[in-house]
A and B are shown apart, each in its own frame.
Chain A
Amino acid sequence: MGPGLQAVNDGELALAARIADRDQTALEAVFDEYSGAVKAIALRVLHDDALADDVVQDTFVRLWNSPEKFRPERGSLRTFLLTVAHGRAVDVVRSEVARSRREQRPPDPDHYDLEEEVWSRSLSETVRAALEDLAPGEREAISLAYFGGLSYVEVARRLGEPEGTVKSRIRSGMKKLATSLAGKTT
């Protein structure tokens, strides 16, 4: 970890400490900085504005109620909040009702967001370059899992591929991304 990231995390640790002291302005500062990304991931998984807003609310209320769950040595506050939000969104999308509705829809293997993200200006050049280096099958499997909220078993079913193949593609793609992005993101 470089000195820059350490400094960022010290600042974030101080913010978390203020939240633990029930300082609402600290929570608002975190909200202003990161709620856009939190909403973005919730919306990508859920495709429903009201449900995504519920996830945003749950995520920040959880930080307020349990700020000690944020451990700066394990990653940035942005990463922590996105991890919480993604987990909540996946819980919603995998709920029984949502699952049965989703399974009635025809599969849509041609639509996967990372293909769009490669060309999108919303991601940094570094991230886009890392995505371009993935094999199409790796991008597709990672995208269906992350943005579609699907388990690897569901991804395999959706693509008509063996589970082991999908598992391997996700693993190799994630390893490549981790290597490409090491030290370049927080």
Chain B
Amino acid sequence: MMAHTQARELIPLFALDALEGRERDEVRSHLDSCPVCRSELSRYMSVTAALTPDSGAPRQTWDRIVASIQQTG
């Protein structure tokens, strides 16, 4: 099991989806049991969201979404 300090150091990379394989799985598993690291992750996810600009809604995709959710009920 990954130690708290080690997992915490990887949270910024996890927030960027920059981890793979066992490292990613171990951080994910640590997050399930660590509220401190979950809070840290929320902080970094706000950062990545801030880097994404807003733009116009792709309205053409809405019809596909409606069709999909009506199909699945």
Closest to B15 in A: A174
Contact with A along B4-47 (1 / 0, CB 8 A): 00000100110111111000000000000000001001111111
Smallest distance from the beta carbon of B42 to chain A beta carbons, Å? 5
Asked whether any CB of chain B lies closer than 8 Å to the CB of A122, the reply is yes
Are A83 and B48 in touch, CB under 8 angstroms? yes
Are B53 and A145 in touch, CB under 8 angstroms? no
Q: Whole-angstrom distance between the alpha carbons of A175 and B11 in the complex?
A: 10
Closest to B66 in A: A24
Are B58 and A56 in touch, CB under 8 angstroms? yes
Smallest distance from the beta carbon of B13 to chain A beta carbons, Å? 6
Q: Whole-angstrom distance between the alpha carbons of A155 and B13 in the complex?
A: 12
Q: Whole-angstrom distance between the alpha carbons of A19 and B45 in the complex?
A: 23
With a cutoff of 8 Å between Cβ atoms, the chain B residues found around residue A117 in the complex are 51, 53
With a cutoff of 8 Å between Cβ atoms, the chain B residues found around residue A150 in the complex are 18
Q: Whole-angstrom distance between the alpha carbons of A78 and B48 in the complex?
A: 11
With a cutoff of 8 Å between Cβ atoms, the chain A residues found around residue B17 in the complex are 86-87, 90, 145-146, 149
Are B45 and A65 in touch, CB under 8 angstroms? no
Are B16 and A146 in touch, CB under 8 angstroms? yes
Q: Whole-angstrom distance between the alpha carbons of A86 and B41 in the complex?
A: 15
Contact A175-B61, Cβ < 8 Å, known A76-B49, A127-B51, A181-B47: no
Contact A31-B46, Cβ < 8 Å, known A24-B69, A37-B54: no
Given contacts A122-B55, A170-B13, A181-B50, 8 further A-B contacts (CB under 8 A): A24-B66, A32-B57, A87-B17, A152-B19, A153-B20, A178-B43, A178-B46, A181-B47
| Cβ contacts A to B, 25 pairs, < 8 Å | A28-B62, A32-B57, A35-B58, A36-B54, A37-B53, A37-B54, A37-B55, A39-B58, A40-B54, A41-B52, A53-B61, A76-B49, A79-B42, A82-B49, A114-B51, A122-B55, A123-B50, A145-B13, A145-B18, A146-B51, A152-B13, A171-B12, A171-B13, A174-B15, A174-B44
Q: Which 10 A-B pairs have the closest CB atoms?
A: A122-B53, A174-B12, A145-B18, A79-B49, A36-B55, A185-B50, A151-B20, A90-B17, A35-B57, A145-B16
Q: Give the B-binding residues of A (Cβ under 8 A).
A: 24, 27-28, 31-32, 35-37, 39-41, 44, 53, 56-57, 60-61, 64-65, 74-76, 78-79, 82-83, 86-87, 90, 94, 114, 117, 120, 122-124, 127, 131, 142, 145-146, 149-153, 155, 167, 170-171, 174-175, 177-178, 181-182, 185-186
